[in-house]
Amino acid sequence: MAYAPKRRQSMITLDAHQTAQLLPYPQLADGIEAMLMEMRSGTARAPERLHFPLTEPERGRRTGVLLVMPAVNREVAMTKHITVHPENCRAGKPSIIGEVMVFDPHTGERQMLLDGPTVTGRRTAAVTLFAARKFAPRPKGPVLIVGAGVQAKAHLEAFAAGMGTRHFMIFSRSPERAHALADHAATLGVEATVVDAIEPVLNTVSIVITATTSNEPVLPDSDVTRWRDDIFVAGVGAFRPDMRELPPQLCRDAAVRGTLVVDTWEVKHEAGDLLHAAIDWGRAAPLMDAIITPDRFRSSGPVLFKSVGYALWDLAAVLCARANLAKDGVPAA
C-alpha cells in the first residue's frame, strides 16, 4: 500500500494592504499594552535583535543593514527579517524591505507571512501612540512631525485614528514629500500644515515626533535651550549608534528634570541620540517599568520617549492580525 503524505495546511500570505487592514492603530496600541503585561509575566520572550551590515561603507553613503527579530509566546512564534538601505530612496526604491514569518511554536508549521515594512511602520507608530496616551502632558494638542517618509505617515495616521489629533504640522527636508503627506492627511479628514522651519512652531505644539534617518539632530539645540514642561517628544527614526535626531540638551533636560522613557533597554547600545548625550541611565525608565510604577519616574519637566524597536512589538502586531483574521477573514487585496 502506497504511503499518502498528509496535506499541510496552506500558509496565508498577506500583501502590504491586507497587512495594514488587519492592524488598526487603536487596537494595536491596546495590543502593545497587553504585550507589556506578557513581558512582565514572562510568557512572551525575545532576544536582542541581530543587526548585521550588508554592504561595505562608502564615503558619504550609509550601509545596508539586515535586522533579524524573533519572538514567541504561548500561542505563536514569529521572526521578522528586514533590510534597511537608506540610499534606495535616491533610486526611487523602498528603503525598508522584508517580511514577518508566523509559525506554530509547538510544531513549527508556517501559518502566515505578513508584509514586514507595514508591520514595522504600524507597530512603531502604535508604540508611540501608546506612550503619548500614558505620558504626554497635553495629548490633545497639535502634533509636529519631522520627516515625511513611511514612519511619518504611519505616525500621522496613528495619532489621527487613536488620539483624535485634528491638526498636524509637517517639516521635511523634502518639501515635495511634506506636501504629499499633507495631502494624505486631508484624505483622513485632518488638517496638516507644511512648515519651513521647526523652531518657530515649537511653542505652539504639544507633541513632537521625529521620524527621520538623520545622522545629526533635526531639532534645535543650545546650552541655554529650556524645553517646555508640557511638551512630549518622541524620537523614533534613529535606531543605530551612528544615527541621531534628538539634540543632546533635550535628552539631558528630560533625564535631569523631566521624564525619559525608552521602549526597551536595547537603547543602551543602539540609540545614538542618548549615547551622544551621555545621559545617566539610572534616570531612564523602560516602558514596562514606567507603566507599572509611573510615580517613580514622572517629573515636572519635558517628557522624552525614545524607541529603537523590539521584536515583542512585532509579536503584538502578529497577535492583532491573527485575531482580526479569525474574526473577519483575509481582507480583499
pLDDT digits (tens, 9 = 90+) for 165-178: 999 999 999 999 99
DSSP letters spanning 214-266: -SS--S---TT----TT-EEEE-S--STT---S-HHHHHHHHHHSEEEESSTT
CB 122 within 8 A of CB 25: yes
Closest CA to 84 of 70, 71, 68: 68
Find which of 83-87, 157-161, 214-218 is predicted with most confidence, using mean pLDDT: 157-161
Q: Note the pTM of the prediction, 2 decimals.
A: 0.92
- Sign of the C-alpha dihedral computed for residues 277, 36, 97 and 161 taken in this order: negative
- What is the arithmetic mean of pLDDT over 314-322? 98
**What pLDDT shows up at residue 5?**
44
Is pLDDT of 299 > 90?
no
The residue-averaged pLDDT of 112-126 equals: 97
Indicate whether 261 pLDDT > 60: yes
Distance of CA 57 to the CA centre of its chain: 26
Q: For helices 25-41 and 116-135, give the axis angle rounded to 10 degrees.
A: 80
Question: Higher-confidence residue: 94 or 99?
Answer: 99
Domain annotation for the chain: domains and CATH numbers: 12-119+312-326 (3.30.1780.10), 127-309 (3.40.50.720)
- Mean pLDDT computed over 262-281: 92
Distance CA 127, CA 284 (A): 17
Give pLDDT, residue 297. Answer: 66
CA distance 148 to 298: 31
Q: How much is the average pLDDT of 300-318?
A: 94
Q: What is the pLDDT of residue 58?
A: 65
| Share of the chain residues as helix, strand and coil, in percent rounded to the nearest 5 | 40, 20, 40
The pLDDT confidence band at residue 328, using thresholds 50, 70 and 90, is confident
- As separate numbers, helices (DSSP H) first and strands (DSSP E) second, the chain gives 11, 14
pLDDT at 222: 60
pLDDT digits (tens, 9 = 90+) for 17-53: 999 999 999 999 999 999 999 999 999 999 998 988 8
How far apart, in whole angstroms, are the C-alpha atoms of residue 166 and residue 188?
10
- Is 197 or 330 the better-scoring residue by pLDDT? 197
**pLDDT band at 57, cuts 50/70/90?**
low
Nearest residue to 304 (alpha-carbon basis) of 245, 241, 224:
245
Give the pLDDT of residue 226.
Answer: 65
Most confident of 111-115, 253-257, 267-271: 111-115
Cell of 35: 504585550
pLDDT in tens, 191-247: 999 999 999 999 899 999 999 988 899 998 765 456 788 999 999 998 888 889 999
List Cα–Cα distances, 147 to 132, 150, 208, 238, 323, in angstroms: 18, 9, 11, 12, 32
Report the pLDDT value the prediction gives residue 9, as an integer from 0 to 100.
60
More confident residue, 162 or 51: 162
Concatenated DSSP letters of 16-38: HHHHHHT--HHHHHHHHHHHHHH
| 3-class DSSP assignment, residue 178 | helix
pLDDT beyond 60 at 295? yes
**What pLDDT does 197 receive?**
94
User: Percentage of the chain with pLDDT > 70?
Assistant: 94
